[in-house]
Amino acid sequence: MDYLETAKRAAFHLGRNPLASLGLLIISALLAVALFAPLIAPYDPVEINPSERLRPPSQAHLFGTDSAGRDIFSRVVFGTRISIRLGLLVIFLSALIGIVLGGGGAYLGGGIEEFLMRFTDMSMAFPPFVLAMAITATLGTGLTNVMVAISAIWWTVYARLIRSEVLAVKEEEYIEAGRALGASDLRILFRHILPNSFAPVLVQASMDFGFVIMMGAALGFIGLGAQPPSPEWGATISAGRSYLRTAWWYPTFPGLAIFVVVLGANLLGDGLRDILDVKLD
């Protein structure tokens, strides 16, 4: 089974799984919001308007306004673009690093595999959020550094996952047949082994998507992520937490946006796991 066949199988069965379909609908809607944010948002998300500060939800401001008079709905919409980009890039980089190190190490075996797996185990020994904080603090605040920090800790999951799959697949008879016919190691690895080991990675990525966004928002909440006046969700919640009693809408709607992303990603991931009959540790 190659990458295209795996994707076709997942797409065919998604429609027969209501919860997975709901997750796909949520994630698709969020992607659409991120793509068309300038058309959806009624206001500039960073424009300050002191005369409109801390206005409750209304027809003019669906989610109310913040302490600077900025429209929270517009900030949540543009924050979707930031969070989706963060989630996609981190998952892509983490999976790429994990596939190269875990898959390559498992295929080559011997001392190379042992070294790479011990390095992976060492990296997993640290609490992920604490390590992400340390890396971001070292590199400096900002969204780019947050992406680098999370990718630097998240790849270990994919390395161990793809390693276990490659170890099982490389012993199959058709792999031995490929070697006997003179196929190169790179061709065997990328044409035969990895495509047949890809399903668990796809499921893991879909389930990790929401958690990566949540971790990025957490780093933004403590001031290490995107900096003001960026409409990043975590930073917005942090700015609004002191107004929770007097302006509940300020931190609530960005928090609900994070909840929706995590819910959609988990529903989609659970559905893909059932469809592809994947068992994750």
More confident of the two residues 52 and 9? 52
pLDDT value at residue 247: 93
Quote the pLDDT of residue 108: 79
Domain that holds residue 105: 3-276
Question: How is 162-228 classified by DSSP, letter by letter?
Answer: HHHHHHHHTTSHHHHHHHHTT--HHHIIIIIITGGGHHHHHHHHHHHHHHHHHHHHHHHHTTSSSPT
Task: Give residue 148's identity as a one-letter amino acid code.
Answer: V
CB atoms within 10 A of CB 59: 5
Alpha-carbon torsion 83, 85, 86, 88, what sign? positive
* pLDDT given for residue 185 in this prediction: 65
Whether 281 is in a domain gets the answer: no
Q: Which amino acid is at 71?
A: D
| pLDDT tens column, 145-156 | 999 999 999 999
pLDDT at 148: 93
Distance of CA 214 to the CA centre of its chain: 9
1-25 residue pLDDT tens: 455 565 566 566 666 778 888 888 9
Q: 160 pLDDT exceeds 80?
A: yes
pLDDT bin (cut points 50, 70, 90) of residue 134 is: very high
Q: Is residue 150 part of a domain?
A: yes
Eight-class DSSP state of 103: I
What's the number of domains the chain is made of?
A: 1
Asked if residues 250 and 233 have their Cβ atoms less than 8 Å apart, the reply is no
The reply to whether 194 falls in a domain is yes
**Is the CB of residue 83 less than 8 Å from the CB of residue 216?**
yes
Q: Using one digit for the tens of pLDDT, what is the confidence trace for 56-66?
A: 999 999 999 99
pTM, to two decimals: 0.85
Residue 69: the pLDDT is: 94
Q: Please give the average per-residue pLDDT across 213-239, as a whole number.
A: 91
Quick one: average pLDDT of 245-274?
A: 91
Q: What is the rounded distance in angstroms from the CA atom of residue 57 to the CA atom of residue 209?
A: 30
Per-residue pLDDT band for 281 (boundaries 50, 70, 90) equals low
pLDDT at 1: 45
CA distance 170 to 14: 29
Q: What angle do CA 9, 166, 84 make, to 5 degrees?
A: 55
Does residue 72 belong to any structural domain of this protein? yes
The answer to whether residue 185 sits within a structural domain is: yes
pLDDT digits (tens, 9 = 90+) for 195-212: 777 778 888 898 899 999
Give dist(CA 91, CA 185) in Å, integer: 26
Q: What is the CATH number of the domain that holds 263?
A: 1.10.3720.10
- Structural contact between residues 10 and 275, judged by C-beta atoms closer than 8 angstroms: yes
With respect to residue 211, please indicate whether it lies within any of the assigned structural domains.
yes
